[in-house]
Structure 1
Amino acid sequence: MKIGLDILGGDFAPEATIQGAILAAKQLSEDQKIVLIGDQEIAKQQIEQAGENPAFFEYVHAPDHIGMGEHPTKAIAHKPESSIARGFQLLKEGVIDSFASAGNTGAMLVGAVLSVKTIPGVIRPAIATNVPKIKSGFGILLDVGANADCKPEMLPQFGLMGSLFSEYVYGIEKPTVGLVNIGEEEEKGNALTLAAYPLLKENQYINFVGNIEGRELFDEKADVMVCDGFVGNIILKLAESFYVLTRKKGFRDSFFDRFNYEQYGGSPILGVNAPVIIGHGISSPEAIKNMVLLGKDMIDSDIIERIKLAFN
């Protein structure tokens, strides 16, 4: 198993990404290798300075990087030696089994679609994120930013991909699926949710439980919650603020602690032909570590093949 990591992506790269890789490597077996993609000399130098053996990793030299503010499509096309472009090339060629980066989100989406491509039958890939539940564990929310505008037919596909991910990566048995909406009643909502509801209800491959209101996101009503990327991204950013606000107010709570993005590391892009994970731009070493380990779990679970079979 080879887990690809962009060491130049993120606000605190390469220090945070390399430190995170070192933490992750300590939890991997001998046949599980992290491939560091970026400036090879800097990587080896920093690993040695940390008192670790550079031989524990593999390296692919990519001296260029894509900045957070760059146009995704242009950057991928004009910077073939960037860490993100090289990472996707390696993923396409099968040199690495997964690829993760805390760099430019748009470039990660464009790179995934252009290189390993969308799984046949999937209309558009979606980005998924974890949502803590009050009692314990967490659910999955998607899409959280890949598709600001969605067609109704896309939401049942999100529900199916989220269900498979929840079951085979996170071990949730028979996950339930809810539609994020402004009311519980079937006739509530906007044009998208009104059209998507019957499609979700009729889909025999998911366990649909109806509409999910904002106040129900964190209870046990649904394991998988689907929405368009516009709504999902607003929910994601609001949820991320909970942990920061509790810290600013000076109190600790085990539930709100689980909103700390570092615990989950990154968000998978579901619907493409290989495991691809996007990390937060401000990712710390702990977040990078968990992003790498999520890549390992996605490979172990064979989740991509399971999604392919579902859409065959």
Structure 2
Amino acid sequence: MKKSEITQNFKFKLEFLLSSINLRIAETQLPLKMGDQEAEKLIHAIKLTQKLRGSVTKVFTDLSNGQTSTKEEEKEMLEDLQKSLLSMNDNLSDLEKISQSLPSTVHQTSNNISLVCLDPATDRTQLPSQLIHAHKWTNKVNRLSDYACQALQQATLRRTNKSQVGPGLSTKRQRRMPPVAHNIPASTVETVLNSLEKHLPDTSITVSRPNGSSCVLQITLSKTLKAVCVLRGFLIEYVNVKGYNEDFLSNDGKIDLWSKSRYKVFEKVSDLMMAGIQHYYYPQMPEITIRTFIQQWFNSYKTLFSAPCSKCGKHLQGGLPPVWRDFRTLAPLHDGCR
């Protein structure tokens, strides 16, 4: 048996004995006024404590003598260690006996202080699992922040081109143009929508204003789908798509904007329409936004069930047609092919 193995075997026992010593010393503290017999017991307890500390030091000294090279030296070291442990055990027993005869001044409410030195059971506390969860969450946040930093560094769009600013001007002093897409007269909006309907013979657009200034467009695209679109000026706020055989009316005959289609393909198209709104948003020229979105990108969905995927050449993938349309080429693509 090597010295490292002996140290591991007796480490826990020695730590427990030392903690017991400290607790016994704390319990033997008495008031200043005491009898001669109690004072003698206290002095004897202090001497036993010193003797116990000496025996504990002897144990560590025997363990630190170094590695043995022969079996005889190893046997001799084990015998010395056994004697030291027996002596330490005897001293501890004597100290425990005399400490029981001494009156304790520890308050009753602080009896649980002896449990402070004990480690909590890991299976009865949630702290380890919470720390593991916090560590994983922190690593995930750091990883996502790195991805976001890389994506922002690759972006080429900026609010102001510094090369177009004069030498005496500062980009910080330039005023930002206020948004005007939502503040468009109703007559201008209806004129643009009528113009769009004339250029799209297979599309019908019905305009209604159930909530004041905001208008609701009910668009029927050929015999493929129906959509409801909420406009605030030229700002497109919401798009919902359903099948050609579905409607957007509630039980009381009013327009129902929020009910989803019962077909999965049109739910997917609705999500892609919301993504298209963000892509075609152009605050400087809001009329271009609505013309490009409805006249080009939205109108390309009239071939939803007839055009194959431009990449794989198939009509169906996972039970769905090519629901995605490229923002530039308007080419149909499956959601897994883009």
Normalising by structure 1, we get a TM-score of 0.21
Structure having the higher Rg: 2
Higher relative contact order (CA 8 A, sep 6+): 1
Higher helix share: 2
Higher strand share: 1
Normalising by structure 2, we get a TM-score of 0.20
